[in-house]
């Protein structure tokens, strides 16, 4: 099945916000875990 170049580009751009959300979600999870580890080491 043939897809036009415009459709492929638009579909690719539509996934960018989803990928950004996933990366930010993982980053926040790791930051919270790191903060807990630092807090426990400080005690």
Domain positions in the chain are 16-43
The model's confidence at residue 43, banded by pLDDT at 50, 70 and 90, is low
Report yes or no on whether pTM surpasses 0.75: no
pLDDT at 38: 78
Report the pLDDT averaged over residues 18-31.
95
Rounded to 5°, the CA angle 14-16-22 comes to: 125
Distances (CA, A) of 17 to 2, 21, 22: 25, 6, 9
């Amino acid at each position: 099945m043939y897809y036009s170049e415009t459709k492929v580009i638009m579909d690719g751009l539509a996934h960018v916000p989803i990928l950004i959300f996933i990366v930010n979600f993982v980053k926040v999870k790791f930051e919270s875990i790191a903060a807990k580890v630092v807090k426990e080491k400080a005690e």
